[in-house]
Structure 1
Amino acid sequence: MIHLACTLGNLGYWDYYSTLMKVKDIVSNQRIITVAESEELYTNNINKVLQREISENRIKALSEYILGTDERFFSSLVVAIHKGSPKWTEIDISNTFDIEGKTLDEKSIDFLSSKFGVLSLSGNEQIFALDGQHRLKGLRKAFKDDNTIGELEIPVTFVIHNQKRLEKTRRLFTVLNKYAEKPKGAELIILDEDDAAAIITRRLVTEHPILSLDNAISSSKTGAIPKNDYKSFTTLVTINKINKILFKKTKSFYTKRPSDNELDELYKVSSGFWNSVFKTFPNIEKYINGGNDVKIDNKLISRKSSSGGSLLLRPIGQELISIAYSKFDDSEIANFEKKLVKIDFNLSNDYWKYVFWNDKMLGKELRLKKGIILKLMGKPIKGYNIDNEMKRIYKLYNKIYNFSIKEV
């Protein structure tokens, strides 16, 4: 038997109890199970599909977060309770109850008395998670690896499941998982305090002398700059992608916040790349500052040109430059800059046309795009014949490829 301090609430059809439980009480003897582990809500064949939706990688990442992060925090698990004999006991608030020296009025006391209580669970209930199934499995794995986390307290919201009204609980499960949208894209980059790439992205757009300029960053929530945005240089998502290219870390690295010293070193890596780009093409800063008729190598740079403008102003172009940069050692950066400045990034150039641009930006052929920039920079992909690939692309457009891409 466990007794949980609760508040009782109502939202339309549902009465619910908000409380907290120790990790050991959640996971021991599988007191709380996933929907797929329950025989109550769906049939076995649907449960098999639901089980496949649970990602082992996400469970592992959550477990590592719980065990490896002192500032860990979880949003509330939403669980349905049925069977057994859960008992709700109200806590009577005395008429002499006061707050900050003031006695509460009778109406307030009645309201509070109806909301505070104890939910007692005997252990013979079946409880399944409607929202937070990955968190639940992450807690199980973390507790198995280190049972000292058993005393940690996790917020839990209980709803009472009526066995005769399955469709109501199914609908709640759907609403919680379909409409409770998780942060993603630029929003996640802004919020994430563990992902080193996101942390450095925010630092760059706050501290870097050029990336912190007003027009440097688009308001886009994705990696693409909107078609009607002719002023912005890049996006948060693009900078974040570039960070991950430059840092060369595994996925698990981004689940736990590095030390401040490590973050400082990563910032040096990322800012070093951008400093190199802006040093090679100083007129980009003029573009960001709203300059008119800004030119690079005597050619106007823009994104609204009928010819596509400059690849330097396209997120994909910036990502590819970072890939090339990552192939050069620290001692070779001067050589990187020397080669980079020789490349014509106008999208009407023969070696970008039909690969990146044909009256609009083209999204496929990522390996070929990488291959072109690396070949131009003298770091070709081994065993990859660029000219054969270019012949194939040109043939798709009924064109003849009659030149060769060479190192600049």
Structure 2
Amino acid sequence: MIHLACLRGNIGFWTYYSTIMKIKDVVSDNRIITVSESNELYTQNINRILQREISPIRINKISNYILTTEERFFSSLVVAIHQGTPKWTDIDLYEQFEIEGNAIAEDELISLGSKYGILSLSGNEQIFALDGQHRLKGIRKAYGQNPEIGDLEISLTFVIHNHENVERTRRLFTVLNKYAEKPRGAELIILDEDDAAAINTRRLATEHPILSRQNAISNSKTGAISNSDVQSFTTLVTLNSINKVLYNKPSSYYTQRPPAEEINILYQKSVTFWNTFFEIYPEVTSFIDGNNEVEISGERISRNDRTGGSLLLRPVGQELVAKAYMKFAQNEMDDFANRLRQVNFNLSSFNWKYIFWNEKMLGKEQKLKTILLLFILGKNNDSNYIHREMRRVYGLNNQAYNEDLIQRIN
């Protein structure tokens, strides 16, 4: 028997009970199981499919988070009680409470009293998680590796499942899993406190003398800038992607927060890159400050639907420059700056047409895009590959390719 202090509430058709449980009480003897481990909501065939939807990678990440992060925290698991004899016992409030010197009226005390109670579980119930399948399995794995975490407390919300109305519980399972939108893109970058790239992305957007300016960062939630936004320079998602290019770490590195000193070292890498970028192209700083008449090498830079404008003002172009930057050693930065300054980044130019631009931005040919810029900058010598691939791309657009037009910078 286990007794849980609870708050009781009601929404729609559901009475629910909010409580806390120790991890050891959640996982011992599989007191709480996943939907796919129960035969109550779905058949074995459906359960096998649900089981395949549970990702071992996510389970491992959650387990590692619990075991290695002191600041660990979870949102509530939503679980359904089935079978057994769960019992609710009200806690009467006889005490005359005062809040800020004002007594709580008797009718309010009666109402409050109906919300407090004890939920008693005998152990013969079947309890399955409607929301939090990965968290539950991650908790199990972490407890299996280190039982000392068993006294940690997690939050749960219980609902009572009626065997005669399986459809209602299925619908709740669907709503919790289908319509619960997980943070992603810019929102995830804003919220993530473990990913060093995300942490430094926020810092760039708030502290860097240029990237913190009003028009520097678009309000886009993705890596793309809306066609209607002709003023913004880049996006949070792009800054984050460039950070990961500069840091050159495996994806697993971003699942656990590094020490502050390490984060600062990485941040300086970001600052050095962007300082170099804006030193090479002071015109871009002028663009960010609202000057729409900026020119580079006699051509006005912009982002437009007619010619595409400048690749420098496109997030994909900024990431392309970061990848090229990483191929130059620190003692080659002057050479990098001189060469990059000579590159024609006009999207309608011979360099980029049909690769990045054909009346709209093109997303394919990632390898060719990267190698082409390195070839132009003199950091790649595979002319056979470049000309073969360019001939292919131009041919797909029924255009003749003239290899003499791509000029390497020496």
TM-score range normalised by the length of the shorter chain: over 0.9
Indicate conservation of the 8 Å contact 2:305/2:359, yes or no: no
TM-superposed deviation, 1:335: 2.1
The amino acid across from 1:116 in the alignment is: Y
Q: Given residue 350 of structure 2, which amino acid in structure 1 is its aligned partner?
A: D
Is 1:245 the counterpart of 2:245? The answer is yes
Moved over 3 A (4+): 95-103, 381-384, 404-407
How many angstroms apart in 2 are the aligned matches of 1:103 and 1:278? 64
C-alpha separation in 2, matches of 1:54 and 1:257 = 25
Aligned to 1:5: 5
Q: Does 1:67 align with 2:70?
A: no
2:84 maps to 84
| Deviates further, 314-323 or 89-98 | 89-98
- Residue aligning to 1:269: 269
Residue 275 of structure 2 is aligned to residue 255 of structure 1: no
**Equivalent residue number for residue 110 of structure 2:** 110
Q: TM-score, normalized by length of structure 2?
A: 0.96
Matched, 1:295 2:295: yes
Unaligned runs of 5+ in 1: none
What is aligned with 1:156? 156
Give yes or no for contact 1:375–1:406 (8 Å, CA) kept in 2: no
Q: Which amino acid aligns with 2:53?
A: E
Matched, 1:407 2:390: no
Cα-to-partner distance string for 1:129-148 (whole Å, 9 max, x where unaligned): 11111111111111111111
Q: Which amino acid aligns with 2:217?
A: I
Cα separation, 2, equivalents of 1:53 and 1:395: 42
The answer for the alignment partner of 2:319 in structure 1 is 319
Please state how far the C-alpha of 1:206 moved relative to its aligned partner: 0.6
Q: Structure 1 residue 380: deviation in Å?
A: 2.7
The answer to whether 1:396 aligns with 2:396 is yes
- Cα distance in 1 between the residues matched to 2:280 and 2:76: 50
Q: Secondary structure at the match of 2:309?
A: coil
Could you tell me how far 1:199 is from its partner in structure 2? 0.6
| 1:104-253 mapped onto 2 (5 Å cutoff) | 104-253=104-253
Q: Distance in 2 between matches of 1:111 and 1:27?
A: 34
Percent of residue pairs bearing the same amino acid type: 61
* Code of the aligned partner of 2:300: L
Q: Which residue identity is paired with 1:185?
A: G
Report the 3-state secondary structure (helix = DSSP H, G, I; strand = E; otherwise coil) of the residue aligned with 2:29: helix
Contact map agreement 1:7 1:115 (CA 8 A) in 2: yes
| Aligned equivalents of 1:100, 1:29: Cα separation in 2 | 46
Distance 1:298 1:305 in 2: 20
Alpha-carbon distance between aligned partners in 2 of 1:332 and 1:298, rounded to the nearest angstrom: 27
1:353-372 matches, cutoff 5 A:
353-372=353-372
Distance (Å, rounded) in 1 between the aligned partners of 2:181 and 2:382: 43
Match in the other structure for 1:57? 57
Deviations 1:345-397 (A, max 9, x none): 01111120011111111111111111211222233387981211111101111
Could you tell me which runs of 5 or more consecutive residues in structure 2 were left unpaired when the two chains were aligned: none
Supply the distance in 1 between the matched residues of 2:271 and 2:187 (Cα, whole angstroms).
22
In structure 2, distance between residues paired with 1:341 and 1:64:
45
Q: Is the 8 A contact 1:371 1:381 kept in 2?
A: no
Q: Distance in 2 between matches of 1:382 and 1:41?
A: 59
Indicate if the aligned counterparts of 1:95 and 1:104 stay in contact, CA closer than 8 A.
no
Q: What's the secondary structure of 2:245's corresponding residue?
A: helix
Quick check: 1:31 aligned with 2:31?
A: yes
Aligned to 1:47: 47
Flag the 1:85–1:375 CA change in 2: closer, same or farther, 3 A.
same
How far apart, CA to CA, are the structure 2 residues paired with 1:384 and 1:99?
Answer: 81
Instruction: Give the letter aligned to residue 408 of structure 2.
Output: E
SS of aligned partner of 1:245: helix
Residues 205, 211 of structure 1: 8 Å contact kept: yes
Alpha-carbon offset, residue 13 of structure 1: 0.3
SS of residue in 1 equivalent to 2:234: coil
Greater mean deviation of Cα atoms: 247-256 or 374-383: 374-383
Give the match for residue 21 of structure 1. 21
Question: Partners in 1 of 2:171 and 2:381 — Cα distance?
Answer: 52
Asked if the contact 1:95–1:106 (Cα under 8 Å) also holds between the matched residues in 2, the reply is no
Matches of 2:152 and 2:331, distance apart in 1: 49
Q: CA deviation at 1:96?
A: 3.2
After TM superposition, give the deviation of residue 67 of structure 1 in Å: 1.3
| Structure 2 residue identity aligned to 1:215 | N
8 Å CA contact 1:16–1:158 kept in 2: the answer is yes
CA 1:403 to 1:60, structure 2 compared with 1: closer, same or farther past 3 Å? same
Shift in Å, 1:334? 2.0
Secondary structure in 2 matching 1:72? coil
CA distance in 2, matches of 1:402, 1:351: 11
Any idea what the Cα deviations from partners look like across 1:276-323, whole Å, max 9, x if unmatched? 111111110000001131011111000126221100000110111111
